[in-house]
Structure 1
Amino acid sequence: MITFESTLDAVSQLSIDQQEMLIDILRKRNAEVRRREILEECHEGLTEYRAGVLKSQSAEEAIAELRSYLDTEDCVKC
């Protein structure tokens, strides 16, 4: 099994140019993964909207609902 530490050790043995290429590749891959996640979330939201699980709201309604949520004890991250 490859560990994080062994990976860092292997990367440190690369030249600076190779390390920079690796960083660039990882950033692009991470961006692509995030794009896929966002797309999946959009598809899920659209499916829920079409099924009537979600309703459309005005900006004012959405802000009021968000404020109400933030004022509750359910908002643990606040």
Structure 2
Amino acid sequence: MDRQEILDLYEWQPGVCFRHPAKGTVATAVVGTIHPREAGERDVHACEECVLTMEDIRREEAGRSGGGYEPGHLGEVLQE
């Protein structure tokens, strides 16, 4: 899959990337959820650059472990 095909697997909305807050509001996708003790549940947003980086990491980990990889599932546990 090329870059745009991977990005198209996610739903994008304006938000602040968890790794690049200095960028301000940019297109982001929800890539996980955290549960802060006093704040309930909060979505973790990532910009396009971070989504692609995280997908690359997942693909490489799946290749090393012999597990399957399918893009578009950041925030989910990899199946072995």
Q: Using structure 2 for the length normalisation, give the TM-score.
A: 0.29
Give the structure with the higher percent helix: 1
Relative to the length of structure 1, the TM-score reads 0.30
Higher relative contact order (CA 8 A, sep 6+): 2
Q: Give the structure with the higher percent strand.
A: 2
Asked which structure has the greater CA Rg, the reply is 1
